[in-house]
Amino acid sequence: MKSLQTRLSAGLILVLAALTMLAVAGGGYSLRRLAENFVAGRLEHDVETLLAALTFDANGQPELATDRISATFRQPYSGHYYQIATPGGEICSRSLWDAELPLPPLVPDRFTRTFVAGPQQQRLLLVGRAFRVQNQPVAVAVTENFSPVDAGLQHLLLEFGLVALALFGVLLLLQRLIVRRGLAPLEQIRRELPRLARGEIPQLADAAPAEVQPLVAELNRLLELLDQRQRRSRHALGNLAHALKTPLTALTQLAEHPPPTGDGALWWRDLRQQLQHIRTLTERELKRARIVGGGAPGQRVMLEREVSDLVDTLHRIHRDREVRIEVRIPPDSGFPGDRDDLLELLGNLLDNACQWAKALVRLTATANTEGLWLRVEDDGPGCPPEQMEGLRQRGARIDESRAGHGLGLAIASDIVAQYGGTLRLGRSGTLGGFLAEVLLPGLPGSPA
């Protein structure tokens, strides 16, 4: 594929060439019309002079006062000819000798202008008109050799063409400089890409033209997203190692000491329970490592449909506690982010609320152009203020008697951070239990 600079230059060259040709052609046509009008005006004056010098004798024969006729009409083949046609005969200029002019039809209301072939292959401009003199019809035609004018016009057009060609070359140089100057920011981006691949710079420079600024911003966002995913993977491995330490220690102890006689079934049950813990933690951390963060262009999650499926799943998980989950989501509310991220966030917050609630968990959502607000609260005992901030840490648990590994709120906090949002933990003013408020800002240009 041709470069953008080559395509722009080729297009501009074609446009400039077309404009130059039009200028030369238009200039030549205008000059020719100007010369024709100038010569025709002079010939019209000659027609009027001949008409004033024309008289008729007693026999109706035409006569001209020669002292009023220009001397050029007496020079043989001078190119200046006249011919007067009357009912009594014709009068031709001395310059015609024995030749005759092919007269076109002449009308009395206007001058007729045309080109005719004259003696010695001359190209003559003829101007004529019909009159009535002494009640007799008279046709007067005057010509002038237009060949010298044509030769002068051709010479002038040649000079004009050379000047236009020189200007065309200058314009080509100017347009090349303008194109290079206009594409200089793109050239800078092209030079930065290899440096970016080598790791010399973390991102592309933001100083880009408005037409490519969204592309540069999206590329920088993707680079930042890749870096966040790398850091998130490292944190996930740390979480996994931390969570697996205790069950692995227990498995090691069980393996080193054979079970007492009669307790084989109990030992096997403990072993399976610890293995199930390992499997659950592994799946959780792998899911956490897949957090996208920042959303993806063209995606929009419909809250009402996704939350409905999530609530059904939580009812099945906590069916022994008979907790009611109340959902308040406006119709057609959406979020321009990743579906799995949103489900992981709400799943952790709602699951934590269901574990601590007495009978009621409430989810309230509001979405607009500024972002998505989520409010999860329950009617449980809540959390003491002095222990609230510690809930964000990996592995932190307030009550060790409850099932879990202390990763739910930490994962939710990481998801919110990846979207540049905020997570506030506190006590619900309406239900009295635990409260988690989340603000996820919308992507630029995304719908509500």
Per-residue pLDDT for 397 more than 50?
A: no
Per-residue pLDDT for 285 more than 70?
A: no
Per-residue pLDDT for 402 more than 50?
A: no
Report which of 313, 431, 271 is spatially closest to residue 361, judged by C-alpha positions: 431
Taking residues 416-427, report their average pLDDT. Answer: 87
Is domain 293-448 in CATH 3.40.30.10, yes or no? no
Whole-structure pTM value: 0.45
Per-residue pLDDT for 443 more than 70?
A: no
* Residue 296 pLDDT level (bands cut at 50, 70, 90): very low
Multiple choice CATH, 4-151, 3.30.450, 2.40.160, 3.30.40, 3.30.70: 3.30.450
Domain ranges of the chain: 4-151, 293-448
Long-range contacts formed by 7-14: CB under 8 A, 24+ apart:
8/179, 8/183, 9/175, 9/176, 9/179, 12/175, 12/179, 13/172, 13/175
* Residue 262 pLDDT level (bands cut at 50, 70, 90): low
Query: φ and ψ at 399, to 5 degrees?
Result: -120, 110
User: How far is the C-alpha of 93 from the C-alpha of 316, rounded, in Å?
Assistant: 121
pLDDT at residue 115, rounded to an integer: 92
Per-residue pLDDT for 137 more than 70?
A: yes
Lowest mean pLDDT among 74-78, 200-204, 221-225, 279-283: 279-283
Helices (H), 290-400: 303-317, 339-356, 385-388
Query: φ and ψ at 200, to 5 degrees?
Result: -75, -30
- Helix 408-418 and helix 264-289, axial crossing angle in degrees, nearest 10: 10
Query: What distance lies between CA 298 and its chain's CA centroid?
Result: 17
- What does the pLDDT look like over 300-311, one tens digit per residue? 678 888 888 889
* Residue 394 pLDDT level (bands cut at 50, 70, 90): very low
Query: What distance lies between CA 46 and its chain's CA centroid?
Result: 66
